[in-house]
Amino acid sequence: MDELREALLVLADGEVFEGEAVGADVAVTSGEVVFNTVLTGYQEVITDPSYAGQIITFTATHIGNYGVTPLDEEASHAACRGVVVRDLARRRSNWRSDDTLDGWLRRVGVPGITGVDTRRLTRHLRQAGAVPGAFGTAGHDALLAAARAEPGTDGIDLVATVTCDAPYVVGSGPRRVVAYDFGIKATMLRHLGKLATVEVVPASTSAEDVLARAPDGVFLSNGPGDPAAVAGASHNIAELLGKVPVFGICLGHQLLATALGGRTYKLPFGHHGGNHPIRRLATGGVEITSQNHNYAVAEGSVDGADVTHVNLNDGVVEGIACRNLPAFSVQYHPEAGPGPHDARYLFAEFEALMDRGAGR
């Protein structure tokens, strides 16, 4: 790690946090500031396309101790605007790693700030909600101006910035799945690839084009930002319902709900972490889940679907299943790399749904 440079994080509401610049060398970077409570998996978090437009604050005090490896990347590039940490490890201590977190951040072009009082920052975000902010080596006034000019994520189609440009195929399973790329993660594709040969298509792909591929099932991926701003997605999903089994995760859950006539709303500071307790209503069992979303489905707004899972922290709708159509979704991440893995059974449920639809 090179000699550290003084830096500031300034929020749009005027709060200031001191630190040192790490990662990519930029004078100013801005975005919506959120916090994530994971203890491990920082590389998976940083490369999750769902963080497009956001600055990620890690609440765990010591980040980077096991280094980085290409095997843990969820996408080919990082879409987040930057990372905030309390203590960035100077040494890596894991046989899998091939670089330090600081070196990797420089290589992939992600700026960071370390030495920040992340405990105070997290407490502030819990009170104020996710707010725009800016950090870097520029002066206070420049950073404050950038923070106040930052539009945040409301009403912006961030999916268009992370979706693929053209279809591609992964996996070699016996079924055929078309996966909408709203910001799809590599771990999702690894799970789906065991069940099916998966053709990943851009977010704007029409329902007609999807059905022309004769899939056994359609997967709706995770992704960033406001579901109401994703152009055409809900219409296309509505056109698919009843014609092919559908499974959605995270943003895919919200888009399935809106395709069914449901409403979504923005949470104060979102769910970002690896230990959210969820009750599975069918069994009464509790699952520990990984989550990363700022928006949620409004309870009681989805006609024709039953709530299947509920967040035990705040009652947010975490899963729905259609009564008369082969379609279901969850708000959390059953694929969760590095974990938890309590909800991986949902991929088997999608497999069974496809087999019933295909008459297997």
Tens of pLDDT, residue by residue over 149-164, are 999 899 999 999 999 9
Query: How much is the pTM?
Result: 0.96
Share of the chain above pLDDT 70, in %: 98
Mean pLDDT of 175-199: 97
Alpha-carbon radius of gyration of the chain: 20
223: pLDDT strictly greater than 50: yes
Query: Of all residues in the chain, what percent are helix, strand and coil, respectively (each to 5)?
Result: 25, 35, 40
pLDDT at 4: 76
pLDDT classification of 2: cutoffs 50, 70, 90: low
How far apart, in whole angstroms, are the C-alpha atoms of residue 222 and residue 2?
36
Structure-token pair, residue 179: 């996966």
Catalytic residue chosen out of the listed positions 73, 150, 287, 335: 335
pLDDT at 338: 84
73: pLDDT strictly greater than 60: yes
Mean pLDDT of 276-293: 96
* Segment 6-37, tens digit of pLDDT: 999 999 999 999 999 999 999 999 999 999 99
The reply to whether 158-358 shares the fold of 5-149 is no
5: pLDDT strictly greater than 60: yes
Taking the domains of the chain in order of start, what are their residue ranges?
5-149, 158-358
Mean pLDDT of 33-53: 96
Mean pLDDT estimate for the chain: 95
Angle of CA points 130, 76, 247, to nearest 5°: 70
The reply to whether 333 belongs to the active site is yes
Structure-token pair, residue 42: 């920082």
How far apart, in whole angstroms, are the C-alpha atoms of residue 104 and residue 89?
13
Q: Omega before 70 cis (within 30°)?
A: no
Catalytic residue chosen out of the listed positions 250, 253, 293, 309: 250
The reply to whether 164 belongs to the active site is no
- Indicate the fold that domain 5-149 takes in CATH: Glucose Oxidase; domain 1 (3.50.30)
The reply to whether 335 belongs to the active site is yes
158-358 to CATH, choices 3.40.920.10, 3.40.50.300, 3.40.50.880, 3.30.70.100:
3.40.50.880
Catalytic residue chosen out of the listed positions 199, 287, 333, 351: 333
How far apart, in whole angstroms, are the C-alpha atoms of residue 226 and residue 337?
24
CB 262 within 8 A of CB 24: no
How far apart, in whole angstroms, are the C-alpha atoms of residue 38 and residue 63?
10
221: pLDDT strictly greater than 70: yes
